[in-house]
């Protein structure tokens, strides 16, 4: 064990127990999920953030790599009331600073009331509060990383084949692995493209669906993905999840804004405006669609009314702000992937009708 200090943007410095040594800084956020810590820690959407778990004991069912959403831990540091030794060993192997023995209830309340804030962390045998403050000082005044996609995206195109009729081009802005799995399970072939894929890259594939993935940070930074949507809307069916919804909305005349503390957890209630049905969803995002542009809002968050689903039937566009694939979380909305692939049928029927004219 070692000393640890957490310096917050509001001026407080909190003493903690150090579990994995190191110095780091980032945006302090929290998740309310009580399971799925492996999935959360390997979710690329947490890149450059410091993740606080509201559930008090993290690591109680071990660490298994088949649950990972990517090949590494993405948060810059992890905070809990208590970490088990097994998860500490895992975080240590990846050199991710970790602290516990902290009142996470108070910390989560502070984030909820004051919003996500910058923080600095220092963990080690001889660290002082000033060390944490110095890390925070490096963070203050810095804008969000404008090329964060380069840190989380595939470096080159990779194709996964299920032997079906549909081919999905997934633009990887920080995609969770379970998105690919959900499409493969439904028989679709999936080509994962880099976040900065070009129009020519997509044209060469001639996919049945162009799908923009989740990812970290501000959707305004993913300009190339937005250009792809602008180029192919109305020509190829379009889908998006999380940051993908925001990118699609911006491309179609909408606007996005940063939320106070975001939605992160596995119990966010979403109402479908057509059916009135409410489903529980998994979410992890700090931005939301403010104005939908050429899209119709079809689903909203029950708690704050933010847009959770956007569609345009004429343009063959469907997006979700939450994670239908869950991992962790409820499977209430897995049929989203069926709806996405159903658009490929519509495309094929349109092509047949056009060729017969």
Residue 46 known to bind ligand: no
CA 243 to CA 218: how far, in whole Å?
8
Residue 95 among known ligand-binding residues: no
Contact 33, 265 (CB under 8 A): yes
Annotated ligand binding at 244? The verdict is no
- Annotated binding residue 286: yes
What residues of the chain score a pLDDT lower than 50?
350-357
217 assigned ligand-binding residue: yes
pLDDT for res 350: 44
pLDDT at 164 (0 to 100): 87
Q: Which residues pair with 83 in a beta bridge?
A: 58
Using the structure block, give the residue that is written with the tokens 């509201």.
Answer: 54
Q: What is the pLDDT of residue 146?
A: 74
d(C-alpha 72, C-alpha 94), whole Å: 8
pTM: 0.94
Closest alpha carbon to 202 in 178, 174, 237: 237
In this prediction, residue 140 carries a pLDDT of 65
Domains and their CATH numbers in the chain: 2-139 (3.50.30.20), 149-356 (3.40.50.880)
Query: Do 292 and 310 meet the contact criterion of CB atoms below 8 Å apart?
Result: yes
Q: Is 253 assigned a ligand-binding role in the annotation? A: no
- Enumerate the active-site residues: 242, 323, 325
> Of 50, 48, 20, 52, nearest to 127 (Cα)?
20
Rg (CA), the chain: 21
- Which pLDDT score, from 0 to 100, does residue 212 have? 98
Residue 241, C-beta contacts closer than 8 angstroms, at least 6 positions apart: 179, 211, 212, 213, 214, 319, 320, 322, 323, 324, 325
305 marked ligand binding residue: no
Q: Is 228 annotated as a binding-site member?
A: no
Instruction: Give me the pLDDT at residue 2, please.
Output: 76
What is the predicted pLDDT for the residue at 345? 76
């Amino acid at each position: 064990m070692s000393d640890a200090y957490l310096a917050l943007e509001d001026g407080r410095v909190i003493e903690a127990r150090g579990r994995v040594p190191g110095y780091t800084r980032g945006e302090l956020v929290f998740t309310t999920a009580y399971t799925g810590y492996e999935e959360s820690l390997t979710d690329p959407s947490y890149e450059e953030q410091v993740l606080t778990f509201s559930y008090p004991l993290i690591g109680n069912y071990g660490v298994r790599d088949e649950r990972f959403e990517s090949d590494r831990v993405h948060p810059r540091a992890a905070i809990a009331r208590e970490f088990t030794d097994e998860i500490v060993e895992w975080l240590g192997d990846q050199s991710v600073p970790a602290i516990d023995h902290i009142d996470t209830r108070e910390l989560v309340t502070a984030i909820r009331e004051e919003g996500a804030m910058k923080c600095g962390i220092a963990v080690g045998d001889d660290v002082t509060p000033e060390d944490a403050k110095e890390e925070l000082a490096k963070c203050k005044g810095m804008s969000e990383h404008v090329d964060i996609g380069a840190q989380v995206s595939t470096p080159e195109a990779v194709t996964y084949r299920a032997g079906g009729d549909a081919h999905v081009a997934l633009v990887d802005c920080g995609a969770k692995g379970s998105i690919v799995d959900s499409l493969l399970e439904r028989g679709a072939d999936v080509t994962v493209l880099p976040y900065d894929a070009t129009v020519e890259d997509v044209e060469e594939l001639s996919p049945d669906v162009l799908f923009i993935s989740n990812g970290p940070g501000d959707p305004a930074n993913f300009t190339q993905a937005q250009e792809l949507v602008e180029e192919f809307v109305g020509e190829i069916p379009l889908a998006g999840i999380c940051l993908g919804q925001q990118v699609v909305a911006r491309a179609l005349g909408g606007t996005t804004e940063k939320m106070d503390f975001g939605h992160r957890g596995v119990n966010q209630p979403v109402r479908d405006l057509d059916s009135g049905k409410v489903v529980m969803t998994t979410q992890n995002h700090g931005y939301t669609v403010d104005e939908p542009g050429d899209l119709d809002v079809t689903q909203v968050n029950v708690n704050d009314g933010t847009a959770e689903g956007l569609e345009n039937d004429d343009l063959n566009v469907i997006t979700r702000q939450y994670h239908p694939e869950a991992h962790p979380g409820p499977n209430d909305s897995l049929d989203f992937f069926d709806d996405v692939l159903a658009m490929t049928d519509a495309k094929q029927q349109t092509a047949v009708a056009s060729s017969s004219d």
